[in-house]
Amino acid sequence: MTYAQPDPSIDPDTLPRMPSWVTSARAETPEDVAFLSGAALSHLHLVLGRYEVPQALLRDRLALRAAEACVAVSGRPEREAELRDAVHLLRPGDLPGPAGETYLACRRAVERPLSVKALGRALPILEPGQIAAWLDAGQGAPVTRAAMVLEAVLREAPRAEVAALVFADAALAQALGWEYLVPLLAAGLKRADLRKQGDDLAVACHRALISSVVEAVRCSADLARRAAHLKAVAPKLRAKGAGDAVELFLTCDAVAPSALPLPDRAARRLCDRLLDLGAVRELTGRDTFRLYGV
C-alpha cells in the first residue's frame, strides 16, 4: 500500500482556536451556561470539519476518556492505562471484564456512522426498538434533547449509566447533524449530575459540554500535529504492510504490535522505528506488552 502524502498546504497549527472568552468566562446563570456551551459546540463543529484532524483517532481517544469517566461513576478503580490493557491486550477467548466491556461499548459506539444498528453493536444487550425509543425521547434544542434522553434512560434503567450517556451523546450528534457520535457528556458530568432532572440536568449538561468541548478541541489540535508528522515520516518506512500499519495508528488510540499486519518481529521493529522517528509514543512505560499510539 502506498500511503498518501500529506498536503503541504495544510498546516495543522492553523486549526481555529477556541475563543478565550469561552474558556475564561464564569457562567453564573443558566442562560450564560447555555450560551457558552452553544459557542463551544459551534467551534467544535468547525474543527470536526477540518481535513487535517484525524477524525477516527479523535473519536477513539475521546471514547477512552468517556469510558474512564463511566468506570469512575460505577465506583470501579480502573483508569486509562488499565482500560487500554483490558482491551488491547485481549487474547482470543479472554473476557475484558466489566471495565473493559465499558471501554469496548464506548469504542464501538464511535466506530461507525450513527444509527440504531451501530448503537446496538455497541450495546448488544438492548433491543433495536428500545434503542430507537430512547433516542426519540428528547426534543428541542440539541443539549436539551440530549439531557431529556439521558433522563429518560436513567428513569427506566437507573443503573444503565453507560447506555444513558452513549444515547445522550448520540442524540446530541443527531441534533447537530454529525455523522458520527462524538463522546462528550460522560467526561464532563459528575456522578451527582446523573441524579438531576429537568432544567437542573440540562444546565449540568451545558456545563459538562463546555469543559469537554474545550478538551476535545485541544485534543484535535494535538492529534492533527501528530498525525501530520506520522504521515510525513511514512515514506521512510520500508516494511511490507507499513502503509496499513500507519493507517491503524491514525485510527486507534492505542495499538499493540500484535495487531499490526506484519510478522511479530517486523511489527516490533516498525514500532521501534516509529518511536525513534518521534511519530508514535510508547504508552505503557513497560519493557514488555507494550502499546503504542500517535
Residue 14, judged by CB atoms within 10 A of its CB (0-12, 13-18, 19+), counts as exposed
How far apart CA 157 and CA 134 sit, in angstroms, is 11
**Which tens digit of pLDDT belongs to each residue from 134-178?**
999 999 999 999 999 999 999 999 999 999 999 999 999 999 999
Which H/E stretch holds residue 58? helix 55-73
**Which tens digit of pLDDT belongs to each residue from 66-100?**
999 999 999 999 999 999 999 999 988 888 999 99
Half-sphere exposure of 91 (CA within 13 A, CB side): 1
Per DSSP, the residues of 157-179 read -TT-HHHHHHHHHHHHHHHHT-S
Tell me the pLDDT band of 5, cut-offs 50, 70 and 90. Answer: very low
Are the CB atoms for 145 and 192 separated by under 8 Å? no
How far apart CA 245 and CA 272 sit, in angstroms, is 13
How far apart CA 74 and CA 158 sit, in angstroms, is 12
Q: Is the pTM of this model over 0.95?
A: no
How far apart CA 262 and CA 241 sit, in angstroms, is 6
